[in-house]
Amino acid sequence: MGNKIISLTLLTLLLGGCTLSPKLDIRPVEIKEIKALGFNTTDKNSTISQEWWREYRDPVLNSLVSEALQNNKDIELALLNISLSRASLALREADKYPSLSASGGASRTETSKETYTSGGRSTTFNDFSLSAILNYEVDLWGRVRASNEAAKAALLSSKASADAVKLSLTSAVVDSYFALVSLKEQLAITQNAIKTREKTLALTKIRFEEGADRESTMVQQQSLLTSAKITKVNIEQQIALASSALGILLGRDVSGLLADKSIKLAALPKDIVVPSDIPSSILANRPDVEASYQQLVSSNELIGAARAAYFPSLSLSGLFGFGSADVGDLLKTTAGTWNMGANLVAPLIDFGRTRANVDVALIQKDINVVNYEKTVLNAFGEVYNALSSRKLLGQNHKNALEYERAIARTLELVRYEYDAGNVDFLSVLDAERSLLSAQLARVQTHQSLLSSGVSLFKALGGGWRKN
């Protein structure tokens, strides 16, 4: 009998591990028009750079990103989700193995005198037991295996989602930092313009008092100075808002960010250089693409787990222990007891429950297929938009530099003409106003160009690195 049970156990173990999960077949997503912007589909010698923000070579920026990664609440939640997925995987892993439990008992019993078998006599006896109990579900149809694989994919999806949160956070920190530095540069330019105009206004007042200038000239210079002061207040308001946004990303008190003497904002860095042969295959490593793919894998495995409910389940159980009427005899060899058995349960009628569960799993997989394809298309769209924007913003930044140089030269010539008496002071005021606008525009276009680089880093899943 024992040999038959052992043979049955080995047979079921050999049968275990088959799967009812369908083969995962993902349709390729066709992408066009990227190559024209320096994005090809052949070169595979590039990988993701995890610390892409270091390309800007700004130690203050590096410090702020590290602080955000350490303190941000979204990161904390993402890490907790990873821990939750890891615990779920451990639970599914445990289902693959037998469970072993220990049982012990002690009782004293007195039988009834009034039963048919008692013969009118009562019996009192002790019963002591100590046993080890083994239970094991044979994974005939791969239900346990499929659930385990689904849990593994869910864990990988959680990790990828956490990477996506990190990428989004670092991109926001870098973008906010560049915005703050840009505003600081604009503030410095405006403050310098205010000082220059205050000096000019003082000279104009002297000239007016001496009769060399008209009152209208002095009033126009005063209005130009007031306009610069209004611009200064607007920039300071934007700085306060940008500081608050950056403080939230860093997970710190926003009111103390500007007062932090350790944060010394440098000038805007040079723009990054984008290689001309970035491979499209690099997008497979984008965190959101990876997370979406693993969600698809998980839902595909759960189809097999749901289908397994159509078929019988087989459980093996075993008991080995000791039993005696006297506790002193409990561990004697003659007190040994054992039991082995198998339990087969087959579904008959469940009024469509299994079919409904399978349908839910199939539909969920179809949803995840569409989500995956949508994520890939969105990834290529973001790369395309980032590359397109950089091309235009790069040219716009060059135009802003040329325009600033031209306006600066114009102001020199107009002042010369004014001193010679060939033009009125209004021409000088117009040139000064245009120069301030040109200087601010140059900084703004520089920041926009840097922001497009951040968008490209984010679109590529964290940058690139040639092998």
> What is the arithmetic mean of pLDDT over 356-375?
88
Confidence tier at 15 by pLDDT (50, 70, 90): very low
Q: Is the pLDDT of residue 132 over 50?
A: yes
For residue 65, what are the contacts with CB-CB under 8 A and spacing of at least 6?
53, 170, 173, 174
Count CA atoms within 13 Å of residue 108 on its CB side: 3
Instruction: Pick the closest to residue 149 from 39, 25, 304, 285 (CA basis).
Output: 304
- In 3D space, the residue among 149, 170, 133, 217 whose CA is nearest the CA of residue 51 turns out to be 170
**What's the confidence (pLDDT) of residue 190?**
93
Count Cβ atoms within 10 A of the Cβ of residue 39 and give its class: 0-12 exposed, 13-18 middle, 19 or more buried.
buried
Domains of the chain, with CATH numbers? 2-96+139-311+347-466 (1.20.1600.10)
Determine the length of the chain.
467
pLDDT for position 56: 87
What does the radius of gyration of the chain's CA atoms come to, in whole angstroms? 38
pLDDT at 116: 66
Close Cβ partners of 115 (under 8 Å, ≥ 6 residues apart): none
Give the confidence band of 460 by pLDDT, cuts at 50, 70, 90. Answer: confident
pLDDT for 354: 81
Q: Pairing mode, if any, of strands 336-345 and 39-40? A: unpaired
More confident: 368 or 257:
368
Q: What is the pLDDT of residues 65-109, one digit of tens each?
A: 888 888 777 777 767 777 777 777 676 666 666 777 788 878 887
Q: Are 187 and 239 in contact (CB under 8 A)?
A: yes
Residue with tokens 């956490």: 162
Q: What pLDDT does residue 255 have?
A: 57
Q: Band of the pLDDT at 6, cuts 50, 70, 90?
A: very low
pLDDT, greater one: 176 or 145:
176
pLDDT, tens digit (0-9, with 9 covering 90-100), for 195-250: 988 888 887 787 777 776 677 777 888 888 898 899 999 999 998 888 888 888 88
Q: Could you tell me what percent of the chain has a pLDDT over 70?
A: 79
pLDDT score recorded for residue 467: 47
Question: What's the pLDDT tens digit per position in 384-406?
Answer: 888 888 889 989 999 999 999 99
Q: Mean of the pLDDT values across residues 286-305?
A: 86
Please determine, for residue 44, whether its predicted confidence score (pLDDT) is greater than 80. no
Query: Which pTM was predicted?
Result: 0.73
302 against 441, higher pLDDT: 441
Question: Which pLDDT value is given to residue 91?
Answer: 66
Confidence (pLDDT) at 212: 65
